Structure 1
Amino acid sequence: MATGRHPLRRFPHLSWNGRQMTADTLLAWTPAAIVFDCDGTLMDSERHWEKAREVVLADYGAVCDEEFAGRTKGLHYTECGRMMAEFAGLPDLADEMTRQLLSAFRRLVAEDPVTMPGAAELVHKAAAFAPLAVASNCPRDVVEDGLSKAGLLRYFDHVLVPGGEVRPKPHPDVYLAAARLCGAAPGDALAVEDSHCGFLSASRAGLRVLGVGPRKPVDERPPVDLWVSTLADPDLLKWAESRAA
């Protein structure tokens, strides 16, 4: 179907809520709500997490390798801090390294708040036909400040982050809460995600999942219904425009 530089990647026999899905089915569907991840999906801030991890680990004489970066992508920052402390051989310093990680990340985001390609256009089009929410493992102030600076916060009805009884991804809690607040059953909502941790969270909640980003090898096929290499994919934007119309 797609013939542009960033073709839609189809997985023709993916299971969703116990039934077979196809990419064509997904693109013929109008979701009752759309829930976006933030880091690496809407905002180009995953690189800031990577840099923050590198900076903090370097202070303790450890070097963050590609395998470790892949394992920590998308995790809640407290879990990431714990893994960093273990990686550095200093498990007793997990709380301190978590604090330093979050501090470094906040500074990097404030210096360079940039949206991912196609994110702003997709959000504008999607807001015309469905309530939108954000489900993130980041602190609320970081999410809202970044989206506000990008001019996107006003399009979202709800911002969901872990706290209280709401557990972080890969638990399904943030996606379940987001769909409920948008007035949609999980099976009628679409999640837009870029990390394996997020894919698991959204699929466990029962949402259909749009994966975005360059595919990297994983031990098992990611639980997504459709994959695009960028939110600027012309067929994806055409779909959103057609739903709005």
Structure 2
Amino acid sequence: MSIPPQDPLAAYRLEGQVALVTGAGRGIGRACALLLAAAGARVVAVARTAADLDELAAAAPAGGIDPWAMDATDPAFMARVEEMDRLDILVNNVGANRPQPFTDVTPETLDHLLGLNVRTAFLVAQSAVRAIRRGGRGGSIVHVSSQMGHVGSPNRTVYCMTKHALEGLNKAMAVELAPAAIRVNSVGPTFIETPMTAPMLNDPAFRDFVLNRIPLGRLGQGSEVAQAVLFLASPAASLVTGAALLVDGGWTAQ
């Protein structure tokens, strides 16, 4: 990425750039796709449910969303990414969680979360970097990690493990890819109100536990994570790589 222009607001514009957002149908991924499109990027939005992508495209600026109804774990998806004519930005948002007490974690849950949160995230990033490098212009990778990539929490041993792994990948990629002008960063949200977190947050006791751990005293919104992603993806962050931007209301400051 080049040095940002003198106009500080222009540094957040993404005209002419192509961004790939996985898990774009709902929640954080949807918010990221909408904001990147509003900033001028053409956004390749990936989700398994075509109806979600149709709603996303209707909410975005005309022509801003290129919907791909695909499974990010599918080798055919990886191959399609590598064949893209242009790619400048990846928002690596694929991931899941299945909270369980440590001694109750099943091999199936362990394999599922390791496979999606680590293996698939790695392979998507690998395919995206191959496409970005072919363009020779540099680019930006933003991993959607979690505050749980920096701390521990009850009933989240596997999730914490996978997000710590993603943070390690983030730093190693940043160092290795810097000579190719590819910046690599992560965002670490706290609990965000999304369809994935709704079942957990509907439990009053758990909701109180979460709110008591956030000094700002409230849950996050997808738009707040998307704003951090836009910063890291844009020329405004031209000297930022290998960083973890925590959008956690102060959770990890304690």
TM-score range, shorter chain: 0.3 to 0.5
Report the TM-score when normalising by structure 2: 0.38
Report the TM-score when normalising by structure 1: 0.39
Q: Highest relative contact order (Cα 8 Å, sep 6+), 1 or 2?
A: 1
